[in-house]
A and B are shown apart, each in its own frame.
Chain A
Amino acid sequence: MKFVDEFRAPELIGKAAEEIRRLAGNDRHYRIMEVCGGHTHAIYRFGLKDLLPTNVELIHGPGCPVCVLPMGRIDDGLSLTASPEFIFAAFGDMMRVPGTHGSPLESKARGMDVRIVYSPADALKLARMTPEKHVVFFAIGFETTAPSTALTIARAKAEGIRNFFVFCNHVTIIPAIRAILDSPDMRLDGFVGPGHVSTVIGCRPYEWIAKTEGKPVVVSGFEPLDILQSIVMILRQLQSGEARVENQYKRVVPWEGNRAALRAMADVFELRPYFEWRGLGFISQSALKIRSAYAEWDAERRFSVPGVRVTDPKAAQCGEVLKGVLKPSQCKLFGRECTPEQPVGALMVSSEGSCAAYYNYQLHKPVTIASAVTA
């Protein structure tokens, strides 16, 4: 099987866009948040905004794990692996994220042993291969990646590997959505629910958003047609005065999620009382820590972590952008001091961060389907 560069069902994309215009009418404004950074990337990449009427606005949510990680955690991770007996292992996405004294990549240039791994299992493998070193895996991600870290820690324990440690920064999506809904400067009408996170947690955890907040949630795939269909489903609910959780991404997301993955997480992790999110501040029970049964593999318990807290660069307005109060281009640094090549804020680092997506696609549109399907 190969990568093929063609859209699925372009004729349906045009129809979905037409249906959105019909449903949205012109008597009110709709604000819909796509929670997941993967959706943000797709929306910019495919120029989907150009297909939407001006009264349907997409607000980019907090679902980019690199973007919501406070700088202090990067400083902590790098500081605990500073001495030569340590190896700092992390996903490639983390490597250019700026800490106070530079990114992991810059730390490598200064002589720290920093490695990219593509799987937590490979960080464990690195520990097996280098028994004389302490390998610290800088774990990051929502429920999509947390089960893999959990299973890796369980495997380290089962195999008795003592030189593997996890610096855990896993976060959970539901408390972040709650924090956004509780935020006084935020008014939203509905949510495009995350696709891959829902593969793990299923659709049930979103039900409170529909029931108590009265907002529709549609778990969505990532193709242009998926995202447009999800917006159609949200608008239909709003038109009929309903609020339900629907699953547009049935081909991948089971309603109940992945129970084995949830068990692995529950076995290894417990909720932290609170955790700091960039742009959103402290959110209670929004992150995972390693249970005491696995304390030996927990970098935070085994080594002294300074617990650095860093305020974001003053001029950067990551918080406002992250909450959807400002558009990326409205930030004072956007495209000048802060670019994907020289990121100041984390939203510019990851391709799933809204600033990087906006910079890469809004300014230099490489792919757009708007012209093709609206003609």
Chain B
Amino acid sequence: MCLAIPGKIIEFDAQQPYLAVVDIVGVRRKVDLGLLQDESVHPGDWVLIHVGFAMSKISEADAADQMRLLALLGESESAMEEVQGYGLDSPPPSGKGWEFVS
């Protein structure tokens, strides 16, 4: 829950302007931009994401730093699981999804 995962804004959602498709380590998910409404945010910008919400705009270099940090902390897998789980609709390749394997 406390992971901060960097992603790159690809495009805004046509129906819900507060949502955007964000590329996060090659996985595309809809992320809520509602908490960045005071900033001008454009496709191509990098953001730091917590629990599915973009919390701050960062530079591409900072995004790379954050990605490295997640790897160093041994959190890459949790981060990927979290990202795969956004939107409820796509179970991660490991087979562990948002729904428990019972």
Contacts and interface: CB of A to CB of B under 8 A. Distances in A.
B68 A145 contact: no
A116 B100 contact: yes
13 contacts: A2-B67, A3-B71, A46-B72, A91-B51, A115-B98, A144-B50, A145-B1, A196-B4, A251-B58, A252-B48, A252-B62, A258-B55, A367-B72
Nearest to A150: B35
Contacts of B8: 1
Given A4-B71, A5-B72, A199-B48, A65 B32 contact: no
B82 interface: yes
Contacts of A37: 2
Contact of A116 (B50, B52, B98): B98
Interface in B47-102: 48, 50-53, 55-56, 58-59, 62-65, 67-76, 81-83, 85-88, 98-100, 102
Contacts of A264: 34-35
A200 interface: yes
Contacts of B85: 116-118, 122
A145 B52 CA distance: 10
Given A5-B68, A93-B1, A121-B32, A252 B52 contact: no
A109 B48 CA distance: 35
B31 to A, nearest CB: 9
B interface SS class: mixed
Most buried by A among B1, B71, B76: B1
A222 B52 contact: no
Contacts of A144: 2, 50, 55
Contacts of A122: 52, 85-88, 98
Given A91-B51, A145-B1, A145-B50, A117 B71 contact: no
A223 interface: yes
Chain A to chain B: the 5 pairs with minimum beta-carbon distance, closest first: A119-B52, A3-B71, A118-B85, A148-B53, A3-B76
Interface of B: 1-2, 4, 6, 8, 25, 32, 34-38, 48, 50-53, 55-56, 58-59, 62-65, 67-76, 81-83, 85-88, 98-100, 102
A148 to B, nearest CB: 4
B51 A120 contact: yes
Interface string A133-161: 00000001100110110010001000000
Contacts of A215: none
B68 A3 contact: yes
A126 B52 CA distance: 14
A103 to B, nearest CB: 12
A27 to B, nearest CB: 34
Contact of B38 (A3, A116, A260): A260
A4 B99 CA distance: 29
B65 A223 contact: yes
A120 B17 CA distance: 18
A105 interface: yes
Contact of B98 (A65, A109, A117): A117
A47 to B, nearest CB: 12
A118 B62 contact: no
B83 to A, nearest CB: 8
